[in-house]
C-alpha cells in the first residue's frame, strides 16, 4: 500500500481527526484511496441538496481526476448543479433561517426565492430559464419520436452552448460539466420528484409534449445499470460512496440482489466497497439510518466488504474526504 500524497487539508485531518466520526472519515477516505489503487471503480451517490451546497467545488475535480466512475443522484441534485451554474449571482443566503417567521417565508415566496435551508434559489433566473431550455429539447425529441434519459436532456442543453452566456460560476466547479467532459455515466432514479420533473408533467398536461415517455423512466435506468454493472465488474469491482440517504443510494445498491436473486446471475460480484455519510440516526425502518451490516442480509454487501459509516453532516464531511483524496 502506497503512502498518500497529502496537501494542507489532508495533512490537517490526518493529524487531528483521530477518534469517533473524525476517525471514521479518515478510515473511509483511506479505504477509498486504497480501493482505487487496487483497481476498483467507484460510484458516488448524491442525496440531499448537495448541488445547492456547491459540492461541485470539490466533486467536479474528483471526476476530472478519474476518482469517480459512475454517478447516481436525485433529480434535484441533477438540476440544481445547473441552476447554480446559470444563476449563482442571484442566489441569496439566509444565515438566520432558523429565526424566520411564516410571514418571512411568505415574503420569500412573493419574491420567487425558494429556500433550501440557508440558501434561496431564484425561480426566475434559475428554474424558469432552465424550463425554457428543457422545453425546447423535450419538444424536439417528442416531435421526432425520440426518447432520452433525464440527464441526457440536460446534457443536450449543455452541449448546445446556447446557455454559456448565462454561466455565473467558473465552469470547472460544475460537476455536471465535469461528468460530460469525462463521459462519466449518470443515473437519476425518481427524477419525477424534481422541479424539472414537475415542469415536464405540466408540459404533458398542456400538450406541449405528446408522449409522456419521451423522458425515459426509472425502470429503464435500472435495466441500464444492470448491464453496466455486469460490464464493469468483468474486469474490476465497483464500490459505492453514498452521500446522504434516500433513493439515490437505495436504488443503485439494489442492482446486485436483483441480478443475483431475480435473474439468478450468482457469479456477479457484490459491491466492493461501501461508505455512507449521513446524519440520520439508526431508527425504525429507516434506510438512511441503517448500519451497513444490515445490507448483508439483503445480498448487497459481503462479510468482508470494506464498510464505513460517517454519522455527520455531508456538507462538511464530503469536501474533506475529497480534499484528502485530491491531495489538497
pLDDT digits (tens, 9 = 90+) for 95-138: 999 999 999 999 999 999 999 999 999 999 999 999 999 999 99
57-95 confidence digits (pLDDT tens): 999 999 999 999 999 999 999 999 999 999 999 999 999
Confidence of residue 262 (pLDDT cuts 50, 70, 90): very high
Q: What number is the average pLDDT over the span 10-27?
A: 97
Name the grid cell of 169: 460560476
Taking each helix axis from N to C end, the angle separating 75-87 and 175-182, rounded to the nearest 10 degrees, works out to: 110
Confidence of residue 321 (pLDDT cuts 50, 70, 90): very high
User: What is the model's pLDDT at position 280?
Assistant: 75
pLDDT at residue 284 is higher than 80: no
| 3-state class (DSSP) for residue 115 | strand
pTM: 0.97
| 3-state class (DSSP) for residue 46 | strand
User: What is the model's pLDDT at position 289?
Assistant: 76
pLDDT at residue 2 is higher than 90: no
Amino acid at each position: 500500500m502506497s503512502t498518500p500524497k497529502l496537501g494542507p487539508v489532508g495533512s490537517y485531518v490526518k493529524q487531528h481527526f483521530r477518534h469517533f466520526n473524525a476517525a471514521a472519515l479518515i478510515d473511509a477516505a483511506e479505504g477509498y484511496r486504497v480501493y482505487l489503487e487496487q483497481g476498483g471503480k467507484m460510484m458516488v451517490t448524491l442525496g440531499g441538496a448537495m448541488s445547492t451546497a456547491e459540492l461541485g467545488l470539490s466533486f467536479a475535480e474528483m471526476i476530472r481526476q478519474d476518482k469517480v466512475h459512475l454517478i447516481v443522484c436525485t433529480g434535484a441534485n441533477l438540476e440544481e448543479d445547473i441552476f447554480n451554474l446559470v444563476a449563482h449571482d442571484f442566489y441569496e443566503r439566509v444565515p438566520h433561517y432558523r429565526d424566520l417567521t411564516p410571514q418571512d417565508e411568505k415574503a420569500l415566496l412573493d419574491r420567487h426565492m425558494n429556500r433550501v435551508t440557508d440558501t434561496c434559489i431564484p425561480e426566475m433566473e434559475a428554474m424558469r430559464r432552465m424550463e425554457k431550455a428543457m422545453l425546447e429539447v423535450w419538444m424536439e425529441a417528442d416531435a421526432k419520436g425520440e426518447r432520452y434519459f433525464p440527464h441526457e436532456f440536460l446534457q443536450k442543453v449543455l452541449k448546445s452552448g446556447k446557455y454559456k452566456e448565462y454561466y455565473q460560476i467558473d465552469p470547472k466547479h460544475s460537476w455536471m460539466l465535469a461528468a460530460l467532459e469525462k463521459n462519466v455515466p449518470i443515473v437519476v432514479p425518481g427524477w419525477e420528484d424534481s422541479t424539472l420533473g414537475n415542469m415536464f408533467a405540466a408540459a404533458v398536461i398542456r400538450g406541449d409534449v405528446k408522449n409522456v415517455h419521451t423522458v425515459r423512466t426509472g425502470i429503464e435506468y435500472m435495466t441500464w445499470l444492470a448491464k453496466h454493472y455486469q460490464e464493469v465488474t468483468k474486469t474490476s469491482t465497483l464500490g459505492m460512496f453514498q452521500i446522504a440517504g434516500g433513493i439515490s443510494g437505495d436504488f443503485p445498491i439494489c442492482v446486485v440482489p436483483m441480478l443475483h436473486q431475480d435473474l439468478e446471475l450468482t457469479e456477479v460480484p457484490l459491491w466492493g466497497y461501501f461508505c455512507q455519510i449521513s446524519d440520520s440516526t439508526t431508527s425504525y425502518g429507516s434506510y438512511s439510518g441503517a448500519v451497513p451490516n444490515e445490507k448483508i442480509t439483503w445480498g448487497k454487501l459481503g462479510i468482508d466488504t470494506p464498510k464505513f459509516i460517517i454519522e455527520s453532516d455531508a456538507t462538511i464531511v464530503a469536501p474533506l474526504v475529497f480534499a484528502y483524496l485530491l491531495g489538497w
